[in-house]
């Protein structure tokens, strides 16, 4: 299959590499020194999103935010104007569900297939091809995209029509963000109360309070190792989508709004490029020194 891949960041690079390793012809845009290995592995670097669209039958986007996706799709030398007849666009970015429905409508009106398929699992999941993928689009688009997504992920769910994949991802990010805060508060209490937080975490593993966040991020909090798997700044962007959706729907999501503020405080303190487990630093900065 001829696949275009646009968005060669921390997540996109290993995802594109899996597609190349699976034997697909992969066309890439904006190859930088960090992604040069993809060309060495067999990928083809092209000069614009339009060139990628003209070369590929399936185009995958893995971009930071809603405006980036809109520009790549509909901007100057964008994907939309150069798609092959009946092409499939798979947006694996995490962006606005409202905007996604608009983008899907335009792509489908031009005779192409659309699937929003945001992912969870972070850099580790991207590297091991173990991502969780939440898809929104027609059943036909999902079926067409499934063989490609199976190269990238383990748990793949068709949620519903276009936009529903992004809604599911926003829900995921709410749960992840609030669970990180819960673990941070628990380990902070343990430390401030004089208990060994590592022992407290060990005692909770396997019990009703156990979670991937407690396992992975709890260990990072204790070790104070915050190299990013997923940056606070990007997580705040996703939580901002949840806050915006709640406002539009007249929903009260008080703890979601609160974690958005905590992330804003972390960014204000200069921690925006740290892993989101570093929210423990922000939380502890509100309290007295141990």
149 and 69, same structural domain?
A: yes
Mean local confidence (pLDDT), 34-60: 98
263 and 155, same structural domain?
A: no
Q: How confident is the model at residue 60 (pLDDT cuts 50, 70, 90)?
A: very high
Q: How confident is the model at residue 290 (pLDDT cuts 50, 70, 90)?
A: very low
Q: Which domain holds residue 17?
A: 2-160
Give tens-digit pLDDT for 217-244: 999 999 999 998 899 999 999 999 999 9
Is the pLDDT assigned to residue 79 strictly greater than 80? yes
Give tens-digit pLDDT for 141-179: 999 999 999 999 999 999 999 999 999 999 999 999 999
Structure confidence at residue 155 (pLDDT): 97
Contact assessment for residue 183 and residue 218, using Cβ atoms and an 8 Å cutoff: yes
Q: How confident is the model at residue 288 (pLDDT cuts 50, 70, 90)?
A: low
How much is the mean pLDDT over the chain?
A: 97
Among 160, 178, 206, the domain boundary falls at: 160
Structural domain contains residue 111:
yes
Mean local confidence (pLDDT), 5-26: 97
* Residues labelled catalytic: 169
Among 160, 195, 224, the domain boundary falls at: 160
Strand 113-116 to 131-137 pairing:
antiparallel
- What six digits make up the tokens of 185? 């508060």
CATH number, domain at 100? Answer: 3.40.50.720
118 and 187, same structural domain?
A: no
Q: What is the rounded distance in angstroms from the CA atom of residue 236 to the CA atom of residue 64?
A: 12
Cα dihedral 164, 165, 170, 171, rounded to 10, equals 80
Structural domain contains residue 290:
no
Distance from chain centroid for Cα 263: 17
Q: What is the rounded distance in angstroms from the CA atom of residue 19 to the CA atom of residue 43?
A: 9
270 and 232, same structural domain?
A: yes
173 and 124, same structural domain?
A: no
Is the pLDDT assigned to residue 192 strictly greater than 90? yes
Q: How confident is the model at residue 287 (pLDDT cuts 50, 70, 90)?
A: confident
How many Cβ atoms are within 10 Å of 141's Cβ, its own excluded?
Answer: 25
Structure confidence at residue 228 (pLDDT): 87
pTM for the full model?
Answer: 0.93
Q: What is the rounded distance in angstroms from the CA atom of residue 173 to the CA atom of residue 156?
A: 17
Among 144, 160, 176, the domain boundary falls at: 160
Token pair 């905590």 is at which residue? 262
116 and 260, same structural domain?
A: no
208 and 77, same structural domain?
A: no
Is the pLDDT assigned to residue 215 strictly greater than 90? yes
Token pair 């905007």 is at which residue? 99
Is the pLDDT assigned to residue 73 strictly greater than 80? yes
Q: What is the rounded distance in angstroms from the CA atom of residue 259 to the CA atom of residue 262?
A: 5
Number of domains in the chain: 2
Is the pLDDT assigned to residue 289 strictly greater than 60? no
- What six digits make up the tokens of 152? 């990238």
- What six digits make up the tokens of 271? 């921690």
């Amino acid at each position: 299959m001829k696949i275009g891949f646009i968005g060669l960041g921390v997540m996109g690079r290993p995802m594109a590499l899996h597609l190349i390793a699976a034997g697909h012809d992969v066309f890439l845009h904006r190859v930088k020194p960090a992604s040069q290995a993809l060309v060495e592995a067999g990928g083809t670097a092209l000069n614009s999103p339009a060139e990628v669209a003209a070369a590929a039958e399936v185009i995958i986007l893995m971009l930071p935010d809603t405006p980036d996706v809109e520009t790549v799709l509909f901007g100057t030398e964008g994907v939309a104007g150069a798609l092959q007849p009946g092409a499939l666009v798979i947006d694996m970015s995490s962006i606005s569900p409202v905007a996604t429905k608009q983008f899907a409508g335009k792509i489908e009106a031009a005779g192409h297939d659309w699937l929003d398929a945001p992912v969870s699992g972070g850099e580790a999941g991207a590297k091991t091809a173990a991502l969780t993928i939440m898809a929104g689009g027609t059943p036909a688009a999902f079926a067409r995209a499934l063989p490609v997504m199976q190269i990238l992920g383990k748990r793949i769910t068709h949620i519903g029509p276009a936009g529903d994949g992004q809604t599911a991802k926003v829900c995921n990010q709410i749960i992840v963000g609030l669970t990180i805060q819960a673990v941070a508060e628990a380990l902070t209490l343990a430390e401030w109360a004089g208990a060994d937080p590592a022992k407290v975490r060990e005692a909770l593993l396997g019990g009703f309070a156990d979670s991937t966040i407690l396992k992975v991020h709890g260990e990072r909090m204790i070790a104070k190792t915050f190299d990013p798997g997923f940056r606070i700044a990007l997580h705040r962007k996703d939580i901002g989508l949840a806050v915006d959706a709640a406002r539009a729907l007249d929903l009260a999501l008080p703890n979601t709004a609160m974690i958005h503020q905590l992330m804003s405080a972390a960014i204000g303190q200069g921690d925006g490029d740290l892993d989101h487990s570093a929210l423990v630093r922000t939380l502890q900065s509100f309290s007295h020194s141990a």
